[in-house]
Structure 1
Amino acid sequence: MLLPKPLYANIIDSYTPRNNIVFHALAGRIDANGGTTLSSGIASAISLFTAGGRTDVLKYIIMLTDREGSYDTALTKRAADHGIVIYTVGLGSSILTSVLTSMAQGTDSSTQNYVGLIKNYVVQELRNNNGDLSRLKFDPNSSRNIVNNYVNQFPTSPYPVFTEKSNLALSLAIHAFHGHNITVKDFKINGNQFSGKLAFHFYDHFGLDADDEINFPGFMDWFTLQHFKLFNGKYVPFITTIDYELPFSGSVN
């Protein structure tokens, strides 16, 4: 457990198995003195994982902050390189959301790989077609949707999937997205240079389907409430949405 200070992070307990009683006691030792440097807290947390110990365990950092703070983005890549997933929690209204969002997104390799794949394909298509956005438009009544066809050509789907080994929390909350749409924002062409943003809107229903593992009484009740026809759709699952933006740029051939 770490406490960020203006120029350093104070480790108040080493990385050892603890029960809830001990965690409550440790939490009581955290105070709100000092400034807010996110870098020191993240760097110290990464060091706890990389200093040695077991390599066959899931690695998570939960960053809680109530202020805007300085942060070295190189630490996000360092965490990702070591298989460490960062979760961020902003407390109050004085936080810098963009920093916390990029910190969390940067260690989500499954989504990063997918949006990077789409970005590279979009840039290549725009480069080869004089920046013509109309080629990328999705038409549900047509089979000539080049982005959708590109993704579907892979023998193994590149779509983001969260597993217990890669991201335990999201494997339970999402596992795999039900669908998404992609919008091009702020698109500009200046001479032979183009730029813009890809806005991904992922969504998933937090429900149970027939092929899910329904082995426990609570899950059986959950499935019954969702699917039993006599309830007439009263207990529908809620929808989880995730928005992800990625800038792109290039030049036409």
Structure 2
Amino acid sequence: MLFDEFRQLSRLFSIYGPYRHLIENMITHMQHGNSSPFRSMYLDSALKDHILRDNSTENSTRLRLDKAFNTFVDWENKNYPAKDRDEFRDAIMSGKLPKFNRFQDNFNGMGITVHDTWATHITIKSLQVDNDRYQAIVHYKVQDHFGLDVDDISKFKFNQFRFFRIWFVLQRYNQFGFKPFMTNMEATIEITGTRE
């Protein structure tokens, strides 16, 4: 009964869009998955969409990597100099990693399923420099923890909603003990540019 109510109340946080059903899938996974990791092509799609639509020049890791390629590609030797590889780390570390804490995520289902992320691994899979163009393939691997802890439920933002109280009881009450799990997402994007 609690899981049915948990799923029903989740609809308050996932009103529209292609990801609105994800929270119900994740609740069912919590009920039957025995803490195994959760994957979904919808999560992968949401991550890729988030990365590609983030046009904030000061925060977007995609745009910051693009700027590093533009600035440091050695056009004469058609490569990226090894001596400048720390510029990638700086570009990523000074940007904002993908998180689902935007306003629309409060209603499209991503804020309740993922919201913040726990770990992000960004890999430049390839870089090709030809004539006056470059093409980079960049892979994002993101993990989140689907669970509530005592700090979470202690916040008014969470404990005012029956949804979060049910979640906490199902996960933490020793007679239930439904285990939290890791949520895994991946996206591969292409970054292209021309010599300036």
> Where on the TM-score scale, by shorter chain, does this alignment land: which range?
0.5 to 0.7
Residue 240 (1) aligns with residue 180 (2): no
Judging changes above 3 Å, is the alpha-carbon distance between structure 1 residues 242 and 148 closer, same or farther for their aligned structure 2 residues? same
1:86 matched to 2:18? The reply is: yes
Aligned pair partner of 2:54 in 113, 137, 141: 113
Q: Structure 1 residue 128: deviation in Å? A: 1.2
Give percent identity, aligned residues only. Answer: 15
Tell me whether 1:150 sits opposite 2:94 in the alignment: yes
- SS of structure 2 residue aligned to 1:126: helix
Normalised TM-score (structure 2):
0.55
Q: CA deviation at 1:182?
A: 0.8
- Partner of 1:206 in structure 2? 146
1:113-160: CA deviation from partner (whole Å, max 9, x where unpaired): 17982222112111111252643459xxxxx93123322xxxxx5642
Q: What's the CA shift for 1:178?
A: 0.8
| CA spacing shift, 1:59–1:203, aligned 2, 3 Å | same
CA distance, structure 2, for counterparts of residue 58 and residue 237 of structure 1:
20
Could you list the runs of 5+ residues in structure 2 that have no partner in the other structure? 1-12, 22-40, 74-78, 160-164
* Deviating 4+ runs (over 3 angstroms): 104-112, 133-138, 162-165
Q: Where does 1:24-63 land on structure 2 (aligned, <5 Å)?
A: 60=16
Counterpart of 2:26 in structure 1 is none
**Deviation, structure 1 residue 201:** 0.7
CA distance in 1, matches of 2:115, 2:147: 11
Q: Distance in 2 between matches of 1:242 and 1:106?
A: 7
Q: Is the 8 A contact 2:19 2:110 kept in 1?
A: no
- Matched residue of 2:184: which SS? strand
How many pairs does the alignment contain?
145
CA 158–239 in structure 1, closer or farther in 2 if over 3 Å, else same: closer
Equivalent AA in structure 1 for residue 91 of structure 2: V
CA distance in 1, matches of 2:19, 2:56: 19
Q: Hey, which of these two has a bigger chunk of helix by percent?
A: 2
CA shift, 1:180, in A, is 0.6
Letter in 1 for 2:112: L
Could you say what the CA RMSD is over the residues aligned between the two structures, in angstroms?
4.2
Which structure would you say has the larger RCO, counting Cα contacts within 8 Å and 6 or more residues apart?
Answer: 2
In the TM superposition, residue 193 of structure 1 has moved relative to its aligned partner by 1.8
- SS at structure 1 position matched to 2:150: coil
The Cα of 1:240 is off from its aligned counterpart by 0.5
* Corresponding position of 1:178: 118
Cα distance, 1:164–1:237 mapped onto 2, change above 3 Å: farther
Task: Report the Cα offset of residue 242 of structure 1.
Answer: 0.8
Query: Within 2, Cα distance between the matches of 1:208 and 1:199?
Result: 29
**Which protein is bigger by CA-based radius of gyration?**
1
SS at match of 1:242: strand
Whether the aligned pair in 2 keeps the contact of 1:129 and 1:252 (CA below 8 Å) is no
Q: Say whether the 8 Å CA contact 1:204–1:240 is kept in structure 2.
A: yes
Distance 1:88 1:173, change over 3 A: closer
8 Å CA contact 2:20, 2:109 repeated in 1: no
